[in-house]
Amino acid sequence: MKKIFKYFIVIFLLVFTFISVNAKSNPYPKTETDIFGNKIINCTWYAWQQAKERKGVELPLWYYVETWYSKAEKAGYSVGKTPKVDSIMVWDYGEGFGGHVSYVTKVEGNKVTYTEGGSPMTTSGINEDTLTLEDMDGFLVGFIYLDKVPTTKKETTTKKETTTSKNKTTTTKEPTKSSNNNLKELSISSVEIDFNKDTLEYNVEVENNIEEITIKAVAEDSKAKITGNDNYKLEEGNNKITISVKAEDNKTKDYIVNINRKEKVVEESKEEAKEEQTETTKPEEPTTKFSKKNYYFYNHRHNSFSYNNYYFCFPYRF
């Protein structure tokens, strides 16, 4: 009886190993019932599906989520404690509370953004959140990296294979690359713009004292690449700035920002205006008519007189 039981265990492990290595479709139940009695997307189904859709990786069937990390390491997957984009994050709450898995979509320093199934916070169970490594201290097991997937060795048999005139070729379907080249956010320092991902050109105006601006753009798809995030010196007049978004499939979309920097207004000083007015104004000619009553001084000896510092001579006396 013991011998038969041992054989049963061996057969079970062989079948389990075969299934865990060669799973070709999502082996996990899609929905589960949350604590409020609602049917929501299962976290294991969702994490497995994200790995397949985003990276083309079909994970094995590892059952309990808190064991995913150790089983992945044994299966040859690369694992670690450092968060990376496109990795599986494994949680273990301990003390009989079970575990959880989620898919990492963005990493900024110690901040990790992830999507997950099994969340009672939404009606569908799918949720996106951001936590720091300090926030996850105590229940984070680690990360399963999907950049290098272990390959399984093909079994060899002693049977001779018969050849046919037709050569059989096998092709592997590559995962579809994203064509999303939209911007999610676009901001310009010192300027407010009404951004819309479908609006490809913007015209803004800044004062002359704004000599430099900073462009910050964020793509909708984390796999898209952006060129144009930089600081720009502004010349007087129009400055054309292009922000390019290249999708994963290399399709590119350009967003144009035209920034008009006003010309500098030069004001004349009051002193300069006064000097200019003095130079251009001619002295008025005296309007007083010449007469003997206006003489200030008459010199009989020299037969001359003066009027307003002008001297006149006469050939006779009055």
Asked if pLDDT for residue 171 goes beyond 80, the answer is no
257 and 298 in a single domain? The answer is no
pLDDT at 106 over 70: yes
Looking at 10-14, 150-154, 207-211, which range is the least confident one?
A: 10-14
Given pLDDT bands bounded at 50, 70 and 90, which one contains residue 317?
A: very low
302: buried, middle or exposed (CB in 10 Å: 19+, 13-18, 0-12)?
A: exposed
Q: Are residues 112 and 66 part of one domain?
A: yes
| From 88-97, 215-224, 284-293, the region with the lowest mean pLDDT | 284-293
Place of tokens 């060795």: 153
**Is 281 inside any structural domain?**
no
Q: Is residue 175 part of a domain?
A: no
- At residue 165, the pLDDT reads 45
Q: In this structure, are 123 and 229 located in the same domain?
A: no
- 127: domain CATH number? 3.90.1720.10
Residue 116 and residue 201 in one domain: no
Interacting residues of 99 by C-beta distance below 8 A, sequence separation 6+: 64, 65, 66, 67, 68, 90, 91, 92, 93, 141
Please report, for the domain that includes residue 189, its CATH number: 2.60.40
Q: Please report which residue ranges of the chain form alpha helices under DSSP H.
A: 2-21, 43-55, 68-75, 270-280
Task: Tell me what the mean pLDDT of segment 12-33 comes to.
Answer: 60
Which pLDDT score, from 0 to 100, does residue 119 have? 85
Count up the domains in the chain and report the number: 3
Residue 64's pLDDT is 84
Indicate whether 290 pLDDT > 50. Answer: no
The pLDDT value recorded for residue 150 is: 86
In the predicted model, what is the mean pLDDT of residues 208-229?
94
CA–CA separation, 232 and 212 (whole Å): 6
Is 5 contained in some domain?
Answer: no
The answer to the question of residue 66 being in a domain is yes
pLDDT digits (tens, 9 = 90+) for 35-58: 788 889 999 999 999 999 999 999
The pLDDT score that the predictor gives to residue 124 is: 85
For residues 32 and 94, state if they share a domain.
yes
* Mean pLDDT taken over the chain: 78
What's the domain range around 113? Answer: 20-145
User: Each residue of 130-167: b (16+ CB within 10 Å) or e?
Assistant: ebeeeeeeeebbbbbbbeebeeeeeeeeeeeeeeeeee
Q: How confident is the model at residue 288 (pLDDT cuts 50, 70, 90)?
A: very low
Residue 133 is assigned to a structural domain of this protein: yes
User: Does residue 95 surpass a pLDDT of 80?
Assistant: no
Full-model pTM:
0.42
pLDDT in tens, 246-268: 999 999 999 999 999 999 887 65
Least confidently predicted of 3-7, 185-189, 267-271: 3-7
Residue that wins the pLDDT comparison between 208 and 315: 208
Residues 38 and 131 in one domain: yes
Q: Which residue has the higher pLDDT, 246 or 154?
A: 246
